Structure 1
């Protein structure tokens, strides 16, 4: 049977967050758009990542609130956790959001949706099932999958990843987690709060990509909830015996009922036959330039598969860059200095720009570091959420990085992304007015803390004020 053929302006391979954003934007702007997806619409974020994890975190937060209600004048209560029902909550959240990412919605926007994987057969052609597609421009948005390390014995034991965890209906008695990054720590806290014992096994430093001072705030809180976090413990082997799984490390053996592997992610490139299109790859994914173009100038790569920061919002940001370039032929380059990220433990952990260590390496003695604690925020006091701080890395009055550990850190970091993206000064942040009392006021107060020694501890300022007061009528 001869293959069907079609021509399209823009072919998008992958219906995750980045691919969907490109497809929706391009179609609504008048382009002929074809979208390929061989698995589930919405990709990892909707089905296995951001959405289900935050839903399970919400269940854990409710349970923990019941355990610690006494400080608010309400009797503590031991929650009766139904793990399967918590997973039903997760499924309901996914189902509620799914129509936004559905094939029907995108076809309604004018996108041609083909539910097949795509593979290049030339520089401008892709096969999707029995359809041969020729495209003026192609966007690779195939995302990433859990990386499973070659640990001896791992292939012989049952283990979970962020893709298979959501199928589990019985609460783990003792969950072992290999990997102390954001996914590992979020799932550690959620399961601990839902009644599991949890041991996190990390080969280097837990939350090692974040500012160590802020990460320590979070890790101390998690340990305080009874989570065992073992750092510098590279998994050497894994074995199963009588229904129990043991992970051997240089720091000892750890045995539990279930094992979650959360050591990172790998770009999804295996199915694409990139060589046929003359597309180069790197160790982390598809090789792209600052405009997100691959070595084949007609092809772009965005999101996780592009080998950079692996966040849903980065894929969405990349989509805007590609639409500007591919549809309008305008110059557009992706930057990373204003890209924030957050870990949704409690307290939360957020970062944008440079950490203190990175900023000191880049700017040396010119750098100033400003810290402002949650303990000085009245809303945080009222809600008993005073654990944490905001840390600003400042160069000549402008922040080059912000690290936050504390309540709603993921919300607070939004402002600092705006500030860094637009090169704003701390004087502009301190000049804004925040409603009182809000957690958001912390941002204004942190910016104000930069000026405190300049205004209130400056003898010249005091001398000028005294002179002015003498002459004022």
Structure 2
């Protein structure tokens, strides 16, 4: 039996943030991870391997295009082992930084094993019984699949095993057109697979601004087959191939491929914790918490994918920072999700922060303005031959920024300045007055912000008077 001032359950992004922060402040900390490595799903089966696959597939696509121009041949399917090695190497390099040794050096006791509460203050990990003054639940999430007839009788992929495939499928059906499904679908298509994406919802990427969704869809459909409003009724394996029977617009449609990838969402990984013994409330499958991440037991906190906030690694990390202070010092810190950005790492990338145009109009009516610039108007994108995309900044009429959206090459990098402005409370005029290096992609933000001053300076009554004065004094 060992006593700790803080016990962190889950060694992913959120849990590691809390454990490192608390230990560096001098607390006696235990960190528990069910799997054999720290780092969580983001490192092993999520963000990192998917981004490595995206980068590799983009390179392969460029090589195939160059080969066609030169009258040569290059098939990404023949080089999939190299692609997989690139994915594995990325995970291995980052794993070195997130190893148990790093935490043991700062005084954290790391336990590898499944944790379960025995009481509100007791936790069992294997044969060890740990006693804690405070607890943080950060066990992440797992893939979920809907109850589809026949699905249990076929082998299918999820993000948890797709990166272990040794060969590239000749064809693949992806069920689910969320960020995970789209990123993987485009990657496989670029490497040479025939890809079909099926989405049950009638809207494509409904959380994104409508103009963003429309442009991205048109770009993706150049490389893969995408259908929305598809109600999958049955899945079967016939002669070694996957057969999906669905209903589309009231008609029965069949799809066939070598492999099936289920990308239909995620759910908290909390069943094994026995939260009932800790008297921690669960609501709709999530740990029920206050805005400061306290559960029904005030000494037990929950963050990350176990709670119903934004399901992003960077959101979990921010929640972890808040919880360190809340758990150790009794503070009431919380994260402002209204300014939390996210990126869909397709090509082109999609960036999102704040309200969409539809949300802004619903909240503020006519008291909004839209400032939009095309990437084809920005010299750097023209030079890079990456003109597809745009920037859209949504404001109140007084200039307060409500949201920022973009589609374009590396949009997640050059749009970050909009997040900074929103967090500072700066108005759009300040984005225009900043000095941007030429030629840089960030000038896309300046192009959009310049429209604010153009409207006020060149379309105002004062400007009209100035024009008349100069005409009179010529």
Q: Compute the TM-score of the two structures, normalised by the length of structure 1.
A: 0.95
Tell me which moved more, 276-285 or 33-42. 276-285
Whether the 8 Å contact between 2:75 and 2:192 is mirrored in structure 1 is no
Q: Displacement of 1:381 after TM fit?
A: 0.2
* Match of residue 211 from structure 2: 213
| 2:289 counterpart of 1:288 | yes
CA–CA separation in structure 1 for the residues paired with 2:291 and 2:322: 10
* Match of residue 222 from structure 1: 220
CA–CA separation in structure 2 for the residues paired with 1:47 and 1:168: 14
* Match of residue 57 from structure 1: 54
* Match of residue 320 from structure 1: 321
CA–CA separation in structure 2 for the residues paired with 1:61 and 1:385: 14
Whether the 8 Å contact between 1:284 and 1:307 is mirrored in structure 2 is no
* Match of residue 2 from structure 2: 6
Q: 1:51 to 1:267 in 2, by over 3 A?
A: same
CA–CA separation in structure 2 for the residues paired with 1:469 and 1:112: 79
| 2:172 counterpart of 1:171 | no
CA–CA separation in structure 1 for the residues paired with 2:415 and 2:260: 33
CA–CA separation in structure 1 for the residues paired with 2:62 and 2:197: 23
* Match of residue 367 from structure 1: 368
* Match of residue 119 from structure 2: 122
What SS class does the counterpart of residue 276 from structure 2 fall into? helix
* Match of residue 398 from structure 1: 400
Q: 1:249 to 1:79 in 2, by over 3 A?
A: same
CA–CA separation in structure 2 for the residues paired with 1:176 and 1:216: 22
* Match of residue 350 from structure 2: 349
CA–CA separation in structure 2 for the residues paired with 1:322 and 1:194: 42
> Structure 1, unaligned stretches of length 5 or more?
none
Q: Compute the TM-score of the two structures, normalised by the length of structure 2.
A: 0.94
* Match of residue 415 from structure 1: 417
CA–CA separation in structure 1 for the residues paired with 2:459 and 2:71: 46
Q: Displacement of 1:213 after TM fit?
A: 1.1
Q: Note the 1:35-434 alignment, pairs <5 A.
A: 35-39=31-35, 40-69=37-66, 75=70, 78-81=73-76, 82-204=79-201, 205-225=203-223, 227-251=224-248, 252-395=253-396, 396-434=398-436
Tell me which moved more, 49-58 or 447-456. 447-456
Q: Displacement of 1:356 after TM fit?
A: 1.1
Tell me which moved more, 444-453 or 36-45. 444-453
Q: Displacement of 1:65 after TM fit?
A: 1.5
CA–CA separation in structure 1 for the residues paired with 2:467 and 2:80: 64
Q: 1:297 to 1:418 in 2, by over 3 A?
A: same
> Structure 2, unaligned stretches of length 5 or more?
none
State which of 452, 455, 458 in structure 1 corresponds to 2:454: 452
Whether the 8 Å contact between 1:338 and 1:418 is mirrored in structure 2 is no
* Match of residue 440 from structure 1: 442
CA–CA separation in structure 1 for the residues paired with 2:181 and 2:94: 24
CA–CA separation in structure 1 for the residues paired with 2:335 and 2:394: 23
